[in-house]
Amino acid sequence: MKKAFAWILVFLVVYILQSSLLYAISFEGSNADLLLLLTTSIALTHGFKRGAFAGFCGGLLQDIASGAFLGFNTLSKMIIGFCFGLMIDRIYEGKILLPLVSSVAATVANYIILTIIIFLLGYNVDIRQNIYKLLLFPIIYNLIFSYFVHKLVCWLKNKSFDN
């Protein structure tokens, strides 16, 4: 019970940081997607079921806050959480490059999935025009925060809540 409460608290704190404080350091409206980083780290350390669930929860929080299409970020983050969770037996979570490489891969995957969804909804997508704002800058921001988010997830995974 304590561990579930701790995970809920982590999601809420990360959501609040992403939706309020990180906008102070945003560049041209782009900032870090901490919920994507949290989803990716949970998937890599806990497997595809928890990864997909983390993606669902994080994406739903983002969708509710944005007021845009409900399910837009939920679907994207759930797919990413599921796919990264499938790699749990193939990687070692203690490697220092893991959060960096996974954050770049997750950011690119998120961009591709969201672009495909927008295209399927019938909107005109100019990939070249939006690639800097929607892909390059988020990659840089996610690289900055990925190690810290991954360390938090690893710490919480190994934390004993018996007290």
Give 23-53 pLDDT, tens digit per residue. Answer: 888 877 788 899 999 999 999 999 999 999 9
- Tokens 């399927």 correspond to 120
Output b/e per residue, 62-84; b: 16+ Cβ within 10 A: bbeeeeeeeebbbbbbbbbbbbb
Q: Residue 140, Cβ neighbours under 10 Å: how many? A: 14
Q: Tell me the pTM.
A: 0.92
Tell me the two tokens of residue 55. Answer: 């993606």
Task: Of 74-78, 108-112, 130-134, 158-162, give the lowest mean pLDDT range.
Answer: 158-162
Q: Do residues 37 and 153 lie in contact, with contact meaning Cβ atoms separated by under 8 Å?
A: no
Query: Domain 2-158 belongs to what architecture?
Result: Orthogonal Bundle (1.10)
- Looking at per-residue pLDDT, the higher value among 88 and 58 belongs to 58
Please state the rounded mean pLDDT for residues 9-16.
Answer: 93
Asked whether residue 80 carries a pLDDT value surpassing 90, the answer given is: yes
